[in-house]
Structure 1
Amino acid sequence: MDIDVVMPCLNEAEALPWVLGRLPRGFHAIVVDNGSADGSAKIAAELGATVVSEPRRGFGAACHAGLTAAASDVVCFMDADASLDPEQLPRVCGPVVSGAAGLVLGRRVLRPGASWPVHARLGNAVLAATLRRRTGAPLHDLGPMRAGGRRELIGLGLVDRRFGYPLEMVLRAAEAGWRIGEAEVDYLPRKGRSKVTGTVRGTLRAIGDMRRVMARRAG
């Protein structure tokens, strides 16, 4: 079974060769260029990835553009910054392929040298606890490596196009009665500075987006 891997990308030229070079056999990258100015799209194409251009800025916009461009029955998502190892994708998509789960998230395990600031880890822990209470899903991390069925994910009708997208995916999947699980994956030193967790401002922006998603789903 071939599996498409959606990778939102904003100026990840330094990381892409390592990331794309570690994709397991049977996994194909869809790199969604979200306005890069460092030649990321050209590098991705030269390394064999399908490149999709999404001019509207936003993490959710890039993820959804990749999802709609995918063709495989099961689709994975992961960041293109080398903070996650593509070789571990089978851990995450395995339960979806076997039918044991409808959605699986990678639970990040901090490895030496990785940067996960305290403010970001605390916000993530609070969010995960809220999700456990609200959905009953055994989640401890709202991580960016995840997998689900392509048609099923499209059918969720996700509307957020910012940092609330991954949260909305979990909430809607839970509301639809999906089995949701997680699998441990290594969290590694990324290339360059994170657009979200690297700054308090970025983290607060992401939290704001997620709060809006929570409020909409509660209403």
Structure 2
Amino acid sequence: MGYTFDDVAVVMGTYNEEEAVATVVSDIEEVTDGRAEVICVDGSSDCTPDIAREHGATVVRQRPQGYGVAVREAVLTPDRPVVVTTDCDDTYPMEQLPAFLDAINEGYDVVSGDRLYHGAEAMPAFNRFGNAAFAALASILMGTRVHDTTTGMRAYRRELLHDIEWTENTGLSAELLIRPLMRDYRVRELPIAYRERAGETKLDPIEGGAAIAKSIVKVCLEERTGLR
């Protein structure tokens, strides 16, 4: 028998997302009939954690230390066997959660949302170009074609998340895809719709982009050589 939403935790790092958190958590509740666990690892200075709790999420408070630190805590916290990541900016389609769960039930270890497949018109052009460049760089270094290395929406088998040591911060999204691929886990990219974000982005596109590119190179070389 396959996994159901009773076996799913949807997790996210949150930082001052009071404009979107209610919508995101409510969408998860609606799509999963309230059966999925929702966890926010939060370092906000606004009302984000209070709103998340009011809508049924479990909130783990954390001193702000960057995107990857929060998401790493989020993916390692649940006890449920399927862990789904998302961002708390209302850009990701929670209505596609059933498709992600179906793919896990088909035997995939990681199901990764491909934002660029449909064009991602809601994404700023500079970001679209950067994300395509990250995917091209990772594809060359891995020798395996990938289309979106930095998506925030993925489903994982919990044991994989605990079997691999995660090291990156800004580049954690790429690492969460690259290491499983290079260790021969079963990975599927699933096209997803991408919406315009609610609220302001926290990532500087130049500084953040450089950090992500550096992480991609570092992680690929580590996996190729077995050295850290």
TM-score range, shorter chain: 0.7 to 0.9
Corresponding residue for residue 31 of structure 1:
40
Post-superposition CA distance 1:131-164 (Å, at most 9, x none): 333435442112110011111111011122x121
Specify the alignment match of 1:94 in structure 2: 102
1:54: Cα distance to partner?
A: 2.2
| One-letter code aligned to 2:106 | S
Partner of 2:209: 203
Q: Give the corresponding residue for 1:18.
A: 23
Aligned residue for 2:60?
A: 52
User: What is aligned with 1:81?
Assistant: 89
Q: Tell me by how many angstroms 1:94 deviates.
A: 2.1
**Cα deviation 1:68-123 (Å, max 9, x = unaligned):** 21111010001010011212122223211331x111110113466x2x22222122
Gaps of 5+ in 1: none
Q: Would the alpha carbon gap of residues 173 and 20 (structure 1) be closer, same or farther in structure 2, given more than 3 Å must change?
A: same
1:202–1:138 CA distance, 2 compared to 1 (3 A): closer
Worse overlay, 171-180 or 68-77 = 171-180
Are 1:178 and 2:185 matched, yes or no? yes
Q: Percent identity?
A: 31
**Residue 154 (structure 2) aligned to one of 137, 140, 146:** 146
Query: 3-state DSSP class of the match of 2:95?
Result: helix
| Paired residues of 1:103 and 1:146 also in contact (CA < 8 A) | yes
The 5 Å alignment of 1:91-170 reads 91-99=99-107, 101-108=108-115, 109-110=118-119, 114=122, 116-142=123-149, 143-160=151-168, 162-170=169-177
**For 2:172 and 2:61, how far apart are their aligned partners in 1?**
18
Measured in 2, the distance between the counterparts of 1:68 and 1:145 equals 16
Aligned-CA RMSD value: 2.1
Q: Given the alignment of the two structures, is residue 9 of structure 1 paired with residue 19 of structure 2, yes or no? A: no
Q: TM-score, normalised by structure 1?
A: 0.87
Is residue 213 from structure 1 mapped to residue 197 from structure 2 by the alignment? no
Q: Aligned letter for 1:170?
A: L
Q: 1:171 to 1:123 in 2, by over 3 A?
A: same
Question: TM-score scaled to structure 2, two decimals?
Answer: 0.84
CA distance in 2, matches of 1:95, 1:68: 21
Aligned partners of 1:16 and 1:110: how far apart in 2?
Answer: 25
